[in-house]
Structure 1
Amino acid sequence: MKFTGTADYVATPQLTMAVNAAITLQKPLLLKGEPGTGKTMLAEQLAAALGTELIQWHIKSTTRAQQGLYEYDAVSRLRDSQLGSDRVHDIRNYIVKGKLWQAFEADKPVVLLIDEIDKADIEFPNDLLLELDKMEFFVYETQERVVARQRPIVLITSNNEKELPDAFLRRCFFHYIDFPDRHTMQQIVDVHFGALKPELVQTALDVFFDLRTVPGLKKKPTTSELIDWLKLLLADDIGLDALQNKQGTQAIPPLHGALIKNEQDVMLLEKLAFMSRRRS
């Protein structure tokens, strides 16, 4: 199986090489990069390109590794025993399969996405070492061993909120998705909007990349926010003049709420606009 990108996803040669290397080595692909650089979307497009199922496990701060394997629903079994249900005699009725179990029992290799692994407790990655390495785990309640029928293609994303353990990193193929350069961003915009007015796109990209270089900006706008902003510009029929006008209050981009996501950055841009007006 080889990934070469899709019509809906712009993958750089470095990214496609990383995906195919992880598939060849049969190791999880650990993806890092700024939020909004397409880490999660890559899993969706990879599954589509390979014609297979995507199983997504979105990690939260409260997520435990055991939940990815299975959970034993003791509460339901207690309730059924009180009601005199026949189900209570088979403990398998109360084993809830997790995302890894679902991936392991698939008849053909699926894409398993473990999304934002750094949100969980620091021990979370270590608790999955054996399962991801050996592709098997033991169910203590039923005394059975679950072994993957077909080895899934595992993608793991991280936003670098926590450092991941060395033992876990050794078992992964790592790739950092760089923020798209101007040419790549143009390709991404073309994928989403097709034949858009070239002057509008170029001016919007100028504004976007200028914003990202503003010193002291707390949160730089990302690719997904650029796409949202362009959608709003089109929906509200914002003209080229509004983007090019950098005088007065228009020094801040129109509909900037799609790009700037906290009040400190808005105040910073207002201050820079005020200082620019005074100099002029």
Structure 2
Amino acid sequence: MKFQGTDSYVATDDLTIAVNAAVTLERPLLVKGEPGTGKTELAKQVATSLGLRMIEWNIKSTTRAQQGLYEYDAVSRLRDSQLGEEKVHDVANYIRKGKLWEAFEAGEKVVLLIDEIDKADIEFPNDLLQELDKMEFYVYETGETIRAVNRPIVIITSNNEKELPDAFLRRCFFHYIRFPDMDTMRAIVEVHHPGIKEQLLTTALTQFFEIREQAGLKKKPSTSEVLDWLKLLLAEDMSAEDLKTGGASALPKLHGALLKNEQDVHLFERLAFMARGERR
């Protein structure tokens, strides 16, 4: 069972090595990187490549670790007892299975994605240490132990918004997705926009990387944003010459796809103003 990337996902050599190492070690793969570098998509592509079903657990700031295991609905049980419902005598009727339970009891090997773990409380990763290490947990209400029938491939993503505990990191295989270089970005674009004109692609990517390297930029545009930008350029039938209009310091065409806050827009407006002043 080896991951080699897919036709719709460009996986670098170091990324495929990391995925396969985590699978071999049967350790969770912790993937960090800038937003928009394909961390979530990686899990989907691993599942597709290996022919496995994917179970996705999207983490929010209010998510608790217990929700990934199970939740006991005591309120519904109390209400049913007042209504004289027969099912109230079996506590299992009020246990709601979480994503880890679903992955553990699956009859086949699955890919379990725990997406954006750094959004949750700092104690969230620690609360899952034993469950992810031993691949089992205890249900106190029913007195049963849930064990993984087939150890799932666990992929955990983080945008690096907060530090994760050392004890948690020790149990993971770590990989940082570096931002693609020009050649890798070209390969990614070819997957999503095959046949794009070479001159347009070269000019667009040159502008894109110049924007990312601009000093004072609050939010650098990501891979997903340059793909959206190129889609708009193609839809508007723009040429390489159209992109060059206005000079290097001007706001890029359809800049709303790349610049996502007013501070960065004002930065490029000031640069354009200064460039016009120098030309005079």
What residue is the counterpart of 2:264 in the other structure?
265
What residue is the counterpart of 1:275 in the other structure?
274
Return the alpha-carbon distance in structure 1 between the equivalents of residues 236 and 84 of structure 2.
62
Q: Which one-letter code corresponds to 1:137 in the other structure?
A: F
Return the alpha-carbon distance in structure 2 between the equivalents of residues 109 and 144 of structure 1.
22
Q: Shift of residue 239 of structure 1? A: 2.7
Return the alpha-carbon distance in structure 1 between the equivalents of residues 44 and 74 of structure 2.
34
Q: Shift of residue 89 of structure 1? A: 1.3
Matches within 5 A, 1:1-280: 1-247=1-247, 251-280=250-279
Conserved in 2, the CA contact under 8 Å of 1:32 and 1:158? yes
Structure 1 runs (4+) deviating above 3 angstroms are none
C-alpha deviations, 1:59-90, integer Å up to 9, x for none? 11110000000001112212222222212111
Normalized against structure 1, the TM-score is what?
0.97
Q: Which one-letter code corresponds to 2:30 in the other structure?
A: L
- Aligned residue for 1:251, secondary structure, equals coil
Point out the more displaced range, 230-239 or 200-209.
Answer: 230-239
Over the aligned positions, Cα root-mean-square deviation in angstroms equals 1.1
Return the alpha-carbon distance in structure 1 between the equivalents of residues 133 and 247 of structure 2.
59
Q: Which one-letter code corresponds to 1:210 in the other structure?
A: E
Conserved in 2, the CA contact under 8 Å of 1:28 and 1:172? yes
Q: Which one-letter code corresponds to 1:274 in the other structure?
A: F
Normalized against structure 2, the TM-score is what?
0.97
Return the alpha-carbon distance in structure 1 between the equivalents of residues 240 and 195 of structure 2.
16
Return the alpha-carbon distance in structure 2 between the equivalents of residues 81 and 89 of structure 1.
9
- Aligned residue for 1:174, secondary structure, equals strand
Q: Shift of residue 247 of structure 1? A: 4.2
Q: Which one-letter code corresponds to 2:196 in the other structure?
A: L
Q: Quote the sequence identity (%).
A: 70
Return the alpha-carbon distance in structure 2 between the equivalents of residues 189 and 158 of structure 1.
24
List runs of 5+ in structure 1 lacking aligned partners: none
Aligned residues: 279
